[in-house]
Each structure stands twice: as C-alpha cells, then as structure tokens.
Amino acid sequence: MKTKLLASGLIVLFISAAGFTVIKKQTDPWPVPDKYLKMANPVKADAESLATGKELWAKHCQSCHGKSGKGDGTKAAQLKTETT
C-alpha cells in the first residue's frame, strides 16, 4: 500500500514538474528589426502625447515590463514566454 502511494505521489510530482515553465528575465537589449531601425515616429513628441503615452504604459504595460522595462513587473512571472 505504501509503495502504491509513493508511486502515485511521484507520478503527480513528475507531471507537475513537466508542466512547469522556467521564465528567464531578459538581460540583453532587445534587437530592433532592421526595417524599424530608421522608421520615423508618426506621433509628434509633445506634452500631450507624452502624458498619453505614460498613461497607456501604466495601464497596459508596466505590470509585466516593470518600471524600468526589463520584464520584472508584478505580473511578468504569470506569462508563458519563450526561454533561451
């Protein structure tokens, strides 16, 4: 009986571990694709557009990207991302 319980526990542990995804925090800068390197920003940088951008960042981006944009936000660990 103890052997069956131990075997069952090990199977559950193995299945749980197999579904676990390791998330690596990006340390190197993201390489911008060539076609976007010299693309002009279609939005004029003024006080209004900067304020709007900050609002949008705080609402939609910061929770995953973190305050400095390095992927260390409070919700980043919940994402299933490609690891390298």
User: pLDDT grade, residue 72 (50/70/90)?
Assistant: confident
Tokens of 43: 């939005």
- Structure-token match 């305050």, residue found: 67
Q: For the beta carbon of residue 10, count every other beta carbon within 10 angstroms.
A: 10
> In this prediction, what percent of the chain has a pLDDT beyond 90?
31
Q: What's residue 10's pLDDT?
A: 46
> Average of pLDDT values for 7-17?
48
Tokens of 54: 């900050």
The residue ranges of every structural domain in the chain are: 24-84
User: pLDDT grade, residue 17 (50/70/90)?
Assistant: very low
Within 13 A of 45's CA, how many CA atoms are on the CB side? 2
